[in-house]
Chains A and B, each alone.
Chain A
Amino acid sequence: MIAHIFEDRCTACQACVSACPTHVLDAGPDGAPRIARLDQCQTCFLCELHCEADAIYVGPDQRQPEAISPEAILASGHLGRLRHDHGWDREPEPGSTGHLHDFWQLGPLLREGAEIAARRYSERQASDRA
């Protein structure tokens, strides 16, 4: 769930208020948004993706709020990481096929995983019979 908004980084653009699909945030009249309905947070991390200032941090547990200090968040290096991994913080490198360069491998890797499971299962069945 959304754990913290860094007011010193927040530009009060309210993009996260708008981008949150479940209406967790309320616009701050002059500044940072307010976490108003945390019970509606589905931990989708999409507010982080839409925050150009990397000022919002979502904790990993969707079942309940977690206490984490702003210092610990900063020290973790995770603030802004997701947006960076998506490539939303920069243009792709010239000459590359872009931030989605590896995306085509999703299907083949998924099938490979399923095949590993199927092979392991049949070997196990065979050894149980032996």
Chain B
Amino acid sequence: MTEEGIDLQADVLIIGGGMAACWAAIAAAQAGADVLLVDKGFVGTSGVTATGGPNHWWVAPEPGKREAAVEERHARSFGLAERHWMARIIEESWIALPTLARYYPFGGDGRGGTFYPGVRGPEYMRALRRYATDAGVRILDHHPALELLVHDDGSVAGAAGHGRLTGQSWRARAGAVIMATGGCAFRSGLIGSHGNTGDGLLMAAEAGAALSGMEFSVSYSLSPAWNSTRTLPYFAARFFDQDGRELDIPPPIGGEGAHLRALASAMLAGPVIADLSDAPDGLKPILRRIQPASPTPFERRGLDIFRDRFEIKLFGEGTVRGTGGLQVVDAHCQTSLSGLYAAGDSATRELVAGATSGGGAQNAAWALTSGRIAGAAAAARAKRDGRRLGAAARAVGQAGLRPAASPRPVDLKAVLPVVQHATIGYDDALWRSAPKLARARDALDGAWRLLADHDQGVGLDRGGLREHAAMIAAARWVTAAAHRRDESRGMHMRADRPATDAALASRLLTGGTDKVWTRFETPALQEAAA
């Protein structure tokens, strides 16, 4: 390396800059740790929370109420969620959100009280940034991590990356590392997700971490074809084909699979047009005050959102609204790697949502809670074991950084269609089958070999290259898990196995980079398959 680099250190290193990363940073700093947070983008605008409006699961601690809420959602988790985790995210959200009042302008609840559970993305992330900064967190924006550093004993020692505004490489050592880089939306165009390319999943898997629930990654968000927006205005939409014939689309809530499959079928046949004139009358005059960015793409095209008809598209959400992510092995959000914790969408959300998305409420409560838990646990570990700066640490990134064979440039533009076809292509994702998954596996293995064997980024290019490597890797885990789970369960819908198999009520792990593996978490299932 001839370029200039900087050496950093901290008790706790946090990789990522969305809501989970910020809650983790705040919790770690409040526990007394010296905290360094590195984000690929800007803490405040990075990730899908910044453009969204997360609603946190919110149930008052009244007798029986939380237990009932947990039971109701647990029954919808297809047997893969855990009640104690669900109770925990309700309690943590209830405690944490009001502490944001110094930084976030909470409004009223319409009944004279304060409305805490739902927050608007840009204001929420602005508040979390200020909260973290005041708590003493050092934030480095535009400092993407490219790879993890690992001790000889296999535990995680830090990370290395690139400052994209400074042009400097960086290397950070820490007593504990938290991965909070978000999910992977496979560059679908989903609002806020351009940077959500699964970078953290790849970095962790290269160091040997396991993932869980990657087959639960089939989710889409409806938007105008030209701009992915929030979905609030579309819930009462009517749909038409290009000849103006109304389409018979099942409603969006209560059977998401049927709704998505009906829309996707229509889109595979031709353009689908939406008409929002049936939207609640109460919404029309105040949409702008709730979600200012929702009417914006319409107005700037000269359209009236509630009067004019327009073409729509389904934007893939991958593991962002899907549940898959790094396996969590203990009550402290530790991954299967010692010293590496996971928070938010980079961690599996199966613990609270099982085989479903969990909707907005559980997702945000999970991001907040896993962040706070990981932050506190990482601080405790760093306090106990120190930063171990005397121990050797080696960088373990491979694809795109250290090619396995002779370096030569690879056409990245050819990679993305292969990845997207397998993960968010309507037919391949919503009607999965063994033959389709086998074809996807072969195509993705080819793309992976090409990139991992030959491509080597320099300077700024390394970021884009690693993003592509991460998307291929994530697509391979999704495909392998979907193939292995020989049934339908929740958002994992196999056209060739439409029934749910009671014997497969276990979380499914996957991982590996050059060679992808899968394994059911329940030991008995694993032995039965062996």
Contact = CB atoms under 8 A, between A and B. Distances in A.
Contacts of A118: 251, 253-254
B108 A18 contact: no
Contacts, number: 179
Interface of B: 40-42, 44-47, 50-51, 53, 55, 105-110, 115, 118-120, 122-123, 141-142, 164-165, 189, 191-195, 226-228, 232-238, 248-254, 278-280, 282-283, 286, 288-293, 296-301
A97 B298 CA distance: 28
21 contacts: A18-B165, A21-B41, A21-B50, A40-B194, A61-B226, A61-B297, A62-B227, A63-B189, A63-B226, A85-B288, A92-B105, A98-B107, A100-B107, A102-B286, A104-B118, A105-B290, A113-B235, A116-B279, A118-B251, A120-B251, A121-B248
Given A22-B41, A76-B300, 6 more contacts: A21-B42, A59-B300, A104-B110, A109-B232, A114-B251, A114-B252
A44 B164 CA distance: 20
A19 B226 CA distance: 23
Contacts of A101: 107-108, 289
A130 interface: no
Given A100-B105, A102-B289, A117-B237, A50 B142 contact: no
A32 interface: no
Contacts of B238: 120
A4 interface: no
Given A46-B50, A107-B118, A114-B253, A98 B105 contact: yes
7 nearest A-B pairs in the assembled complex, by CB-CB distance? A113-B235, A21-B41, A85-B292, A100-B107, A60-B300, A116-B236, A113-B236
Main SS of chain A's interface residues?
helix
A21 B44 CA distance: 9
A21 B195 contact: yes
A114 B235 contact: yes
B17 to A, nearest CB: 8
Contacts of B53: 103, 106
A23 B167 CA distance: 13
Given A42-B194, A44-B45, A60 B278 contact: no
Interface string A53-83: 0000001111100000000000010100110
A25 to B, nearest CB: 10
Given A97-B107, A117-B236, A78 B299 contact: yes
Contacts of B109: 104
Contacts of A46: 45, 50-51, 122
Interface in A12-47: 17-23, 27, 40, 42-46
A15 to B, nearest CB: 10
Contacts of B279: 113, 116
Contacts of A107: 55, 118
B296 to A, nearest CB: 6
A69 to B, nearest CB: 14
B237 A50 contact: no
B115 A104 contact: yes
User: By CB atoms of chain A within 10 A, which of B40, B109, B283 has the most?
Assistant: B283
Contacts of A23: 41, 142, 164-165
